[in-house]
Amino acid sequence: MTETPAWTALKAAAKADGARRIRALFDAEPDRLEGLTFEAAGLTLDLSKQPWSREGATAAVELAVAAGVEAARERLFNGEIVNLTEGRPAMHMALRAAAGADFKAAGKAVSEEVEDVRDAMQDFVAAVRSGMAGGATGRPFKSVLHIGIGGSDLGPRLIWEALRPLVPEIQLRFAANIDGAEFAAATAGLDPEETLVVVVSKTFTTQETLANARAAKAWLEAKLGAGKADSHLAAVSANPAEAGRFGIAEDRVFAFRDWVGGRYSVWSAVGLSCAIGLGWPAFEGLLAGAAAMDEHFETAPLDANMPLMLALAHVFNRNGLERPLRAVVPYARRLALFPAYLQQLEMESNGKRVTQGGLPVSQATAASVFGDAGTNGQHAFFQLLHQGTDIIPVDFIALAEDHEGPKSHRNMLLANAIAQAEALMIGQENLNEPHRHFPGDRPSSFILLERLTPETLGALIALYEHKTFVEGVLWDIDSFDQWGVELGKVLAGRVLRELDGGDGPDHDPSTAALIARLAR
Residue 262 vs 330, nearer CB to ligand F6P: 262
In the complex, the smallest distance separating the C-beta of residue 492 from ligand F6P, rounded to whole angstroms, is 11
Contact stretch for ligand F6P (CB under 6 A) within 144-152, 170-178, 384-392, 442-450: 144-152
Q: Is 444 in the site for ligand F6P (CB under 6 A)?
A: no
Question: Which residue among 15, 108, 409, 489 is the active-site one?
Answer: 489
Residue 28 vs 485, nearer CB to ligand F6P: 485
Contact stretch for ligand F6P (CB under 6 A) within 1-9, 79-87, 145-153, 373-381: 145-153
Question: Exposed (0-12), middle (13-18) or buried (19+): which is 353, by Cβ within 10 Å?
Answer: exposed
Cα(82)–Cα(270) distance, integer angstroms:
22
Question: Which residue among 15, 108, 379, 409 is the active-site one?
Answer: 379
Among 105, 183, 482, 498, binds ligand F6P (CB under 6 A): 482
Q: How many residues touch ligand F6P (CB under 6 A)?
A: 14
Q: Is the dihedral of CA 61, 465, 305, 46 positive or negative?
A: negative
In the complex, the smallest distance separating the C-beta of residue 153 from ligand F6P, rounded to whole angstroms, is 8
In the complex, the smallest distance separating the C-beta of residue 237 from ligand F6P, rounded to whole angstroms, is 8
Question: What angle, rounded to 10 degrees, do the helices at 54-66 and 69-77 form?
Answer: 50
Cα(120)–Cα(250) distance, integer angstroms:
12
Beta-strand ranges (E) seen in 208-287 are 233-237, 253-255
Alpha-carbon torsion angle 503, 504, 507, 511, nearest 10: -80
Among 262, 330, 427, 443, binds ligand F6P (CB under 6 A): 262
Q: Is 51 in the site for ligand F6P (CB under 6 A)?
A: no
Beta-strand ranges (E) seen in 251-375 are 253-255, 325-331, 368-370
Provide CB contacts within 8 A for 433, sequence distance 6+.
Answer: none
Cα distances (angstroms) measured from residue 213 to each of 183, 204, 217: 10, 10, 6
- Say if residues 63 and 12 touch (Cβ distance below 8 Å): no
Cα(273)–Cα(152) distance, integer angstroms:
11
Give backbone dihedrals phi and psi of 233, rounded to 5 degrees, phi first.
-120, 140
Q: Is 156 in the site for ligand F6P (CB under 6 A)?
A: no
Site for ligand F6P, residues 314 to 353, rule: CB under 6 A: 348
Q: Is 150 in the site for ligand F6P (CB under 6 A)?
A: yes
Q: Is 151 in the site for ligand F6P (CB under 6 A)?
A: yes
In the complex, the smallest distance separating the C-beta of residue 396 from ligand F6P, rounded to whole angstroms, is 27
* 70-75 long-range contacts, CB within 8 A, separation 24+: 70/302, 72/469, 72/473, 73/297, 73/298, 73/469, 73/473
Residue 149 vs 369, nearer CB to ligand F6P: 149
Tell me the β-bridge partners of 328: 395
Contact stretch for ligand F6P (CB under 6 A) within 149-157, 405-413, 423-431, 440-448: 149-157
Question: Which residue among 193, 208, 346, 348 is the active-site one?
Answer: 348
- Say if residues 107 and 239 touch (Cβ distance below 8 Å): no
Contact stretch for ligand F6P (CB under 6 A) within 148-156, 334-342, 352-360, 362-370: 148-156
Q: Is 479 in the site for ligand F6P (CB under 6 A)?
A: no
In the complex, the smallest distance separating the C-beta of residue 343 from ligand F6P, rounded to whole angstroms, is 12
Active-site residue 202, yes or no? Answer: no
Write the DSSP symbol of residue 295: H
Q: Is 149 in the site for ligand F6P (CB under 6 A)?
A: yes
Residue 152 vs 231, nearer CB to ligand F6P: 152
In the complex, the smallest distance separating the C-beta of residue 233 from ligand F6P, rounded to whole angstroms, is 16
Cα(426)–Cα(23) distance, integer angstroms:
6
In the complex, the smallest distance separating the C-beta of residue 210 from ligand F6P, rounded to whole angstroms, is 9
Q: Which of 168, 90, 466 is nearest to 293 (CA)?
A: 466
Cα(315)–Cα(323) distance, integer angstroms:
9
Active-site residue 348, yes or no? Answer: yes
Q: Is 485 in the site for ligand F6P (CB under 6 A)?
A: yes
Site for ligand F6P, residues 184 to 243, rule: CB under 6 A: 201-203, 206, 209
Q: Is the dihedral of CA 342, 347, 349, 355 positive or negative?
A: positive
In the complex, the smallest distance separating the C-beta of residue 357 from ligand F6P, rounded to whole angstroms, is 23
In the complex, the smallest distance separating the C-beta of residue 464 from ligand F6P, rounded to whole angstroms, is 16
Question: Exposed (0-12), middle (13-18) or buried (19+): which is 505, by Cβ within 10 Å?
Answer: exposed
Active-site residue 352, yes or no? Answer: no
Residue 28 vs 496, nearer CB to ligand F6P: 496
Q: Is 468 in the site for ligand F6P (CB under 6 A)?
A: no
Q: Which of 346, 330, 348 is nearest to 338 (CA)?
A: 330
Q: Which residues are catalytic?
A: 348, 379, 489
Interacting residues toward ligand F6P by CB under 6 A: 149-152, 201-203, 206, 209, 262-263, 348, 482, 485
